[in-house]
A and B are shown apart, each in its own frame.
Chain A
Amino acid sequence: MKREGLKGYLFIAPWLIGFFVFVLIPFIASIYLAFTDFDIISSPEWVGLDNYKRLFFDDPVFWKSLGVTLKYALIAVPLGTVVGVGLALLLNLDIRGIRFYRTAFYLPSIVPMVASCAVFSWVLNPQIGLMNSILRFIGIEGPAWLSSEPWAFYSLVMISLWSVGGSMIIYLAGLKNIPMSLYEAAVVDGANAWHRTIHITLPMLTPVIFFNVIMGTINAFQYFAQAYIMTQGGPEDSTSFYALYLFKRAWRYLDMGYASAMSWILFILVMSITVLLFKTHKKWVHYENGS
């Protein structure tokens, strides 16, 4: 039995070592760094709660970026859920060519992120981009999407919706797992399509929706690359997402202690929101047989 135990640890050793080296030790180190003044070049200098004080009381950009990120999470996550579930419901219907439609909606989500940034910088170009040329065609002069307020922010939300296909496929798989017998029983009881959707499909799908909302929220709080590539936080910090500001603090101003304090605030926020979501989940997530 003892040898068996040793054997187990040998097998999981790669992860265990990696966990200590790449997760646990850096995790603890960042608690310490958050209380220091650290620029990578010289060694960290203890400053107590200074970083947190500066963040909370002297840094309007910190509050702005927190606000931008919260707004993004509150808009993009629910919108992505509604669109993802909606499309999945449509694509679960039994019509000819459904595989073609599924592919069409799924494809954008596998386009590499940097490529989609390049494409949307082009599509949203104010003078010669596709978006505004179509709007001009119907007589509307569109805004400078990525470089004016508030459009830059909403452009990023729109671009996130473009790759909703990833979660749509998960919803579709969830729909396929709903037993047909439930619908047959409902039809016998005289339920129409609308009632079936509201009383069977959606409740049965709630575990998958819950999973996607959790992952979507965690990701929304770490939203970074698209804003870094397309707007750099502008105009006027209107797309200064939290992770983007953190990155700038750390790598543009080499304010690593300050950035570590920011990363801890982010961590606590993400954890609290995840716990909160889990607390609500008994109220709306439906589990078969209580499992």
Chain B
Amino acid sequence: MKARSPLELTRKQKWLTHAILILLCIPFIMPLVWMVSTSLKSNEDIFPKAEQAAVTFSVSSLFPREPQWKNYQDAWQTGPFALYLRNTLFLCTLNVIGAVFSSALVAYGFARIRFPGKDFLFILLISSMALPRHVTMIPMFTVFKALGWYGTMLPLIVPAFFANPFYVFLLRQFFQTIPSNLAEAGTIDGASEFRIFSQIMLPLAKPALITCALFQFLSTWNDFFGPLLYLNDPQQYTVAYGLQQFMGTHGSEWTQLMAAATLFTLPIIILFFRAQKVFIRGVATTGTTG
């Protein structure tokens, strides 16, 4: 028989907890419900009736009268979000490959190889995470402009290939936990350090690499600041930036705007439900090992 945990709640306490949680849930979930429901409404549904100046809430307003799938089609074309999506996925792919591979390389160096100045450099790496990006952004912009990279995607791609301190930190911890006899076996075989890294260590680090890949994907997908600074050709806009531009130009077409916002959010939500463990593990290790 299972022993009763000292922290188990009584029946009454359980009901109370449910009530509190449901009540608190509402403000968190409502905006998302509202986003999706608006995206399926017609303009007549969202604007007040002729004699009124404003809209009063009614439960029926939570549901579209007749789903207007056309909003999605319209938004998709006016965006033009197909193009933005292609640009975003292009950036995501290169950023994920660049950041994960370079960070793994650096993390391996810090975790498994002895070299002079290692501790100092690692502290430097960690503290660089706290540096506000505003301090470096103006000189960086100047340099990218001098290189002729302004108005291209290069400033949004190239830096990813130079390792991300946060991923280095996560991966280093992972590499440190791998027993060293595995690597030693490789050394005896005469394998080079790089082969040990790529053929023994990388496959073992797969869960941590996936966490980093997911983080990088999300951060590139969501990135607004980079495109804002460096892109000036609408042909190169990303979804995040394109959506903000769309807000500016079609700001009062709420149904289309919500359709676009839903389309932009949906892949992330799906990704979350498919890879829930990776999400939670990643976020949790961030905060509790720090």
Contact = CB atoms under 8 A, between A and B. Distances in A.
Interface in A1-53: 1, 4-12, 14-19, 21-23, 25-27, 29-30, 33, 40
Given A121-B247, A162-B27, A23 B32 contact: no
A26 B128 CA distance: 13
B225 A266 contact: no
Contacts of B170: none
A251 B142 CA distance: 12
B190 interface: no
Interface stretch (A149-157, A257-265, A280-288): A257-265
Interface residues of A, number: 103
B264 A112 contact: yes
A227 interface: no
Contacts of B124: 19
Contacts of B54: 126-128, 132-133, 136
Contacts of A183: 6-7
Contacts of B254: 122, 125, 128
A263 B141 CA distance: 14
B81 interface: no
Instruction: Classify chain B: how many residues form its interface, as a range.
Output: 35 or more
A264 B139 contact: no
Interface in A116-149: 116-123, 125-128, 130, 132-134, 136-137
Contacts of A40: 141-142, 145
A280 to B, nearest CB: 17
A121 B193 CA distance: 54
Contacts of A115: 35, 243, 261, 264-265
A167 B162 CA distance: 28
Interface in A198-220: 208, 211-212, 218
Which of B24, B109, B118 lies at the interface centre, i.e. has the most chain A CB atoms within 10 A of its CB? B109
B162 A170 contact: no
- Interface of chain B: mostly helix, strand, loop or mixed: helix
A118 B247 contact: yes
A15 to B, nearest CB: 4
Interface string A214-254: 00001001101100110000000000000100100011000
Given A14-B163, A162-B27, A30 B138 contact: yes
A40 B109 CA distance: 38
Contacts of B163: 14-15, 18
B258 A264 contact: no
A263 B106 contact: no
Given A128-B55, A187-B6, A14 B161 contact: yes
Which of B8, B55, B228 lies at the interface centre, i.e. has the most chain A CB atoms within 10 A of its CB? B55
Contacts of B105: 11-12, 14
Interface of A: 1, 4-12, 14-19, 21-23, 25-27, 29-30, 33, 40, 87, 90-91, 93-97, 101, 104-105, 107-108, 110-123, 125-128, 130, 132-134, 136-137, 162, 165-167, 169-174, 177, 180, 183-184, 187, 208, 211-212, 218, 221-222, 224-225, 228-229, 243, 246, 250-251, 256, 259-260, 262-264, 266-267, 270-271, 274
Given A97-B18, A169-B284, 18 more contacts: A8-B114, A11-B106, A15-B163, A33-B139, A104-B29, A112-B221, A112-B268, A113-B224, A114-B240, A115-B265, A118-B260, A119-B261, A130-B57, A133-B61, A166-B283, A177-B288, A256-B138, A267-B135
Closest 9 CB pairs of A and B: A18-B162, A11-B109, A8-B115, A170-B287, A173-B284, A26-B139, A29-B139, A187-B6, A26-B136
